[in-house]
Amino acid sequence: MADTLPAVLPDWLGWWSSTDYDVARTLLQRGFGALYALAFWGALRQFRPLLGEHGIATVPRFVQRTHWRDGPSLFRLRYSDRLLVTVAWCGVLLGVSVVVGLPQAGPWWVPALVFLVLWWCYLSLVNVGQTFYAFGWETLLCEAGFLVAFLGSDAVGVPLVTILAVRWLLFRLEHGAGLIKWRGDRAWRDLTALYYHHETQPLPGPFSWHAHHLPRWWHRFEVVGTHVSQLLVPYLLFLPQPFPSVAAAVFVLTQGWLVLTGNFAWLNWATIVLALGVVDDGTWAWLGGLVGLPDGGAGAAGVGARAAGVGAGAAGAPLAPLAFVIAVSAVALLLLVLSVRPALNLASRNQRMNASFEPFRLVNAYGAFGSVTRHRDEVAVEGTLDQDPGPGGWTEYEFRGKPGPTDRRPPQVAPYHLRLDWLMWFLPLGHSSRWFTVFLRRLLEADPATLRLLRHDPFGGRRPVAVRAVLYRYRYTTPDERRRTGDWWVRQRLHLAVDPVRLVDGQLVDGRAAG
């Protein structure tokens, strides 16, 4: 056949395509299809009030002062809220199509095309998303989506070079996080970091209070486990099976603990999907045998080439179309070249965290929480309907995820990403707050789209006379305080973070007459 690799190729080419990772391919494709659908759904709900035509940090203004090479994006050609909605809905539908397996049932180029469209559309959001999209898991979703595009469909064997690229991504993700911790805050080296983390992390979850109150010996054990899983275990990914599968089990367990004790958008879930994507079919069959699944579990879990009824080559894998081999090989060579700077970054004492070295975000650097905050300071936003309010005349806006009222249990929001809430956590740390002034203006305007980002508008859509920001110091209640009061938090007012402001003739003015 002219368009396929002949079965008489030398044995040394037998490594190229395999049936040993059919389950891994299924999990990678459907897992990231689901994450893309979720990410685009989040864009439908949040992008316009944050970055749209009348958003807090509008895309049209951003593209006017930046260049295409700073971040290629469909929205540099033209932006409108209507186009954004169209792109986001396409992303949701394409992601769902992958989850149900429609593209995978066609030729190899169909899932490749679907994932490349998902990658380009989401990259277009990230590259104009400014501070609201400046998170490591945005870049991770872009890189993983591009990579998964070259896993093929059920009609071809799984390219081993793509599985190796998945291992390389997982290594950078885990090892980068471990190195940034070891090189960063002393608390990671003296094993005390988890004394603080569960309380001071950006968005605590429902079980974070309980995790914080575990014995200190457990917190030290957590840190040791973190170092082992991120500094040592990732090297197992470069060894033959079953070592990568063992590493995957460690990653799934550690990431699962993070899922239970925090809200880190889809970071943990993406890492879990990548970890499952390095497990071979033999391991799945063994695990299936342990729980009594028929055929060792491989038949129940795998949707692969062996069920597709196509011809097989010398290695037992379906014959690979020549175009597929050329495309995957070219991509592998490109990723190899682009991996040089991220690899050097891992070895550098000045390691960069969550960094991209080229605008298409194909091979990146990862790592977070190199430093651990010891105290939790929160900015509370308050408004008033009174022209001259007294001390009790201010009412607090309530956010969906970040701590507010002390009796409210931290909610579970991940893998959904609350972008405004995350940015509010950064404010007391001294990060750029230019967007916050516009946010206050939108509250004074009672902008409906902005108010929908919040959990509760205390004024029922009416325009407040003035708004202000107050800085509080938060800590978890002790178990005894929790029993007596029912509260999850104790907070102490520190000072006004932003003096009262009013909106007069479209301009923000000093509102201290209102408080």
| Closest listed residue to residue 237, CA positions, set 187, 291, 318, 175 | 175
Cβ burial, residue 148 (10 Å; 0-12/13-18/19+): buried
Write out the two tokens for 378. Answer: 């929160």
Predicted structure pTM score: 0.92
**What type of residue is 159?**
P
Max Cα–Cα distance, the chain, nearest Å? 88
Which carries the bigger pLDDT value, residue 508 or residue 191?
Answer: 191
pLDDT given at position 311: 34
**Number of helical (H) and strand (E) elements in the chain, helices listed first:** 20, 11
| Closest listed residue to residue 136, CA positions, set 426, 364, 342, 425 | 364
CA angle 229, 278, 121 (to 5 degrees): 100
CB 207 within 8 A of CB 416: no
CA angle 388, 392, 393 (to 5 degrees): 40
Which carries the bigger pLDDT value, residue 71 or residue 303?
Answer: 71
Write out the two tokens for 486. Answer: 């029912």
CA distance 179 to 235: 13
pLDDT given at position 316: 52
3-state secondary structure of 507: strand
3-state secondary structure of 189: helix
pLDDT given at position 295: 52
- Beta carbons within 10 angstroms of residue 392's beta carbon: 6
- 26-74, pLDDT tens digit by residue? 999 999 999 999 999 999 999 999 999 999 999 999 999 999 888 999 9
Average pLDDT score over residue span 484-499: 96
CB 270 within 8 A of CB 239: no
CB 136 within 8 A of CB 14: no
pLDDT given at position 161: 95
Average pLDDT score over residue span 140-144: 98
| Closest listed residue to residue 423, CA positions, set 199, 127, 203 | 203
The CA-atom distances, in angstroms, between 28 and each of 115, 149, 303, 305, 417 are: 12, 10, 12, 15, 21
Look-up of token digits 């400046």: 134
pLDDT at 91 over 60: yes
- 189-198, pLDDT tens digit by residue? 999 999 999 9
- 395-411, pLDDT tens digit by residue? 999 999 999 999 999 99
CA distance 304 to 239: 24
3-state secondary structure of 390: coil
Residues in a beta bridge with 510: 501
Write out the two tokens for 285. Answer: 């069959």
CA distance 79 to 59: 7
- 187-228, pLDDT tens digit by residue? 999 999 999 999 999 999 999 999 999 999 999 999 999 999
**What type of residue is 226?**
T
Look-up of token digits 């009412």: 395
Which carries the bigger pLDDT value, residue 306 or residue 73?
Answer: 73
Cβ burial, residue 293 (10 Å; 0-12/13-18/19+): middle
pLDDT given at position 430: 82
CA distance 183 to 115: 36
**Angle (deg, nearest 10), helices 322-338 and 160-183:** 20
pLDDT given at position 293: 58
CA distance 12 to 5: 13
Q: How far is CA 404 from its chain centroid?
A: 24
Torsions phi, psi for 147 (to 5 deg): -70, -45
- 339-385, pLDDT tens digit by residue? 999 999 999 999 999 999 999 999 999 988 888 999 999 999 999 99
Write out the two tokens for 505. Answer: 């003739």
CA distance 513 to 368: 43
CA distance 198 to 211: 7
Looking at every residue in the chain, the average pLDDT score rounds to 91
**286 — alpha (psi -120 to 50), left (phi > 0) or beta?**
alpha
pLDDT at 460 over 60: yes
